[in-house]
Amino acid sequence: MIPISDENPTLHTPIMTWLILGAMFTVWFVVQGGGFPGHEIQLVSSICNLGMVPGELTHLVPPGYSVPVAPGLMCVIDRDPINKFTPLISMFLHGGWGHILGNALFFWVFGNNIEDSMGPGRFLCFYLLCGLAAAATHVVMQPASPVPTVGASGAISGVLGAYLVLYPRVHINMWFPLIFFRVFAIPAWLVLIYWFGVQVMTGLPQLSPVRPDVSGGVAVWAHIGGFIAGMVLVKAFANPGLVAARNAIRQERLGMVTAR
């Protein structure tokens, strides 16, 4: 299911949401080559050198160990000083067009509302903290992984957790492309609890000693950690006055629609 929009009013221009999206796409095109033909080496190099590798942070994987990431291309474990900054840098990297566009869509639908409830400065701090919490969760759950992790989904998961706390009854316009050919308005609590449940069900088998790979290469524990961080941190960052104003306007608009 794909979120298209929500029924939550936005009272202020989401400046920080736009800036974060702009940073993501700037990095995608300038640093990673935009995923275009002929830029495969640039893309893989950015992922290997700037992506977060748990085994490099924990030193549980020896230098020189290599892992294949593309046909004929390997990522090699090193002790480069930049590794300590990769939990932050990796939030702005992506692995392909589907990856960045999917993250951008979720971030736009939910992020502008959370920024509108915090203000741009608080929202940036909240977003980065959720991303770091997601990265830490992934490292704790996969401390010896030699595979680089990239993407904004951990931080965006924090935004989803915040949305669940602040606006559980707001309807999200969801599209089910493989089942239905129309958009359905579904309460946010149902959408987000379902999404979180999928992450948990996908992540639980990784706790088994057998460790079957059912995640499809997705860092689901980063999603789980980011989501929980968002739920925990949102009250410390949300501006009660902004939240109350948004709820009042939404209720007023709903009343107008009902009266019609």
Confidence grade of residue 139 (pLDDT, cut at 50, 70, 90): very high
Q: Is 54 helix (H, G, I), strand (E, B) or coil?
A: helix
Q: Find the farthest-apart pair of alpha carbons in the chain and give their distance in angstroms, rounded.
A: 68
Amino acid 216: pLDDT: 47
| Element of type H or E holding 40 | helix 40-50
Tell me the β-bridge partners of 5: 173
Two structure tokens written together for 110: 């939910």
User: What's the CATH code of the domain at 41?
Assistant: 1.20.1540.10
Dihedrals phi, psi of 152, to nearest 5 degrees? -90, 0
Report which listed range, 66-70, 187-191, 211-215, is most confident: 187-191
Count of residues for the chain? 260
256 has a pLDDT exceeding 50: yes
Cross-strand bridge partners of residue 172: 6, 186
Tell me the whole-structure pTM to 2 decimals.
0.91
Instruction: pLDDT band for 72, please (50, 70, 90 cuts).
Output: confident
| Angle at 215 (CA atoms; ends 33, 189), nearest 5 degrees | 95
Mean pLDDT, residues 204-224: 68
Q: Which DSSP letter does residue 142 get?
A: S
Q: List, in sequence order, every residue forming a beta bridge with 74; answer none if it has no partner.
A: 68
Looking at the 3D structure of the chain, how many domains does it have?
Answer: 1
Which residues lie across from 174 on neighbouring strands? Answer: 3, 184
**pLDDT (tens digit per residue) in 75-130:** 999 999 999 999 999 999 999 999 999 999 999 999 999 999 999 999 999 999 99
Burial (CB count <10 Å: 0-12, 13-18, 19+), residue 201: exposed
Domain of 149 in residue numbering reads as 2-259
What is the residue whose two structure tokens read 């088998």?
205
Average pLDDT, the chain: 90
Residues 84 and 135: their CA atoms lie apart, in Å, by 12
Q: Which pLDDT score, from 0 to 100, does residue 222 have? A: 95
